[in-house]
């Protein structure tokens, strides 16, 4: 039978439900209310659970190892009643609570490998009180002095005060680790923020310098184009004036010159015109008849157009 992770839900909307995940398929189980979570909780009823709350990573081996980590949840993740910071080893039989008072489930491996043992149970003062010594024969005879001394020596080690002292030291160590982790995270954030700010300022300065250079380049190109256009206009003007001067030498005064010079004078201009046939491209003449010494134009009478030349 394939080894698998078994999740026994102890409270919350999934209470008394069991989920199984084969080890040869899953390398990480994500936990939260997000729709893509491997172990998904109800978005309304399990409001103590964040969208992305925690994760269980599987590290293959003989035996395989499991790591539980909180991924930035709002209410934290508790392992066996203790809030975790960072990544911590997960063993069969451990109980995970998603936020204080939130949904709880037990972590198990089935079938459990022989070399994968559960976490050592810490005995309370009540457990120690319920322990009694019996004789070798089991008949209630008083124990030997050596046995009594061993029991007396072992009793303080598992007493209530000792357990509370151990828990207090564990909390202090966990608090110091959290403070050191927080300080390290703050240093990293400051360093990364400073680097990003420096890079952004440097990039901004480079962009402004590039923009200024591009504007200067465009201005130079525009000035060159304007200068070339002005020079071209001057050259066209000079060429036009030269052509007008040459034309004036060939044909004499222009109509504007004549108007300007002789607008106040009275002149008589003799003109003549010539009619050209568009078909033959030859000149047309009005026939005349000589009567005595004078020439008179000829006309004919047509039924459609009357008298025509």
Q: What is the CATH number of domain 4-120?
A: 2.60.200.20
Q: What is the structure's pLDDT at 135?
A: 41
**In contact, 160 and 123? CB cutoff 8 Å:** no
- SS3 sequence, 211-259? HHHHHHHHHHHHHHHHHHHHHHHHHHHHHHHHHHHHHHHHHCCCHHHHH
Angle at CA 37, nearest 5°, toward 31 and 42?
A: 80
Bridge partner list, 87: 69
Q: What is the structure's pLDDT at 127?
A: 53
**In contact, 19 and 12? CB cutoff 8 Å:** no
- pTM of the shown model: 0.41
Q: What is the structure's pLDDT at 168?
A: 66
Annotated domain spans of the chain? 4-120, 275-308
Residue ranges of the chain with per-residue pLDDT less than 50: 128-158
Angle at CA 242, nearest 5°, toward 240 and 246?
A: 115
């Amino acid at each position: 039978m394939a080894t698998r992770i078994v999740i026994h839900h102890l409270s919350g909307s999934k209470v008394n439900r069991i989920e199984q995940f084969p080890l040869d398929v899953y390398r990480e189980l994500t936990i939260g209310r997000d729709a893509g979570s491997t172990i998904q909780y109800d978005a309304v009823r399990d409001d103590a659970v964040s969208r992305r709350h925690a994760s269980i990573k599987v590290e293959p081996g003989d035996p395989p190892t499991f790591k539980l980590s909180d991924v930035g949840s709002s209410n934290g993740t508790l392992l066996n009643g203790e809030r975790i910071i960072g990544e911590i080893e997960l063993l069969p039989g451990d109980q995970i609570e998603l936020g204080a008072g939130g949904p709880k489930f037990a972590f198990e491996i089935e079938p459990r490998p022989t070399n994968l043992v559960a976490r050592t149970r810490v005995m309370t003062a009540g457990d120690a009180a319920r322990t009694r010594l019996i004789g070798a024969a089991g008949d209630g005879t008083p124990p030997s002095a050596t046995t009594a001394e061993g029991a007396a020596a072992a009793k303080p080690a598992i007493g209530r005060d000792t357990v509370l002292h151990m828990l207090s030291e564990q909390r202090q160590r966990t608090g110091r680790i959290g403070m050191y982790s927080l300080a390290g995270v703050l240093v990293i954030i400051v360093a990364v923020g400073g680097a990003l700010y420096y890079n952004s300022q440097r990039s901004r300065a480079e962009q402004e310098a590039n923009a200024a250079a591009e504007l200067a380049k465009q201005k130079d190109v525009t000035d060159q184009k304007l200068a070339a256009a002005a020079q071209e206009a001057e050259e066209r003007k000079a060429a036009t004036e030269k052509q007008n001067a040459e034309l004036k030498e060939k044909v004499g005064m222009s109509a504007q010159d004549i108007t300007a010079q002789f607008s106040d004078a009275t002149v008589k201009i003799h003109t003549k015109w010539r009619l050209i046939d568009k078909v033959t491209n030859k000149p047309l003449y009005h026939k005349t008849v000589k009567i005595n010494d004078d020439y008179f134009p000829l006309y004919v009478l047509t039924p459609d157009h009357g008298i025509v030349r």
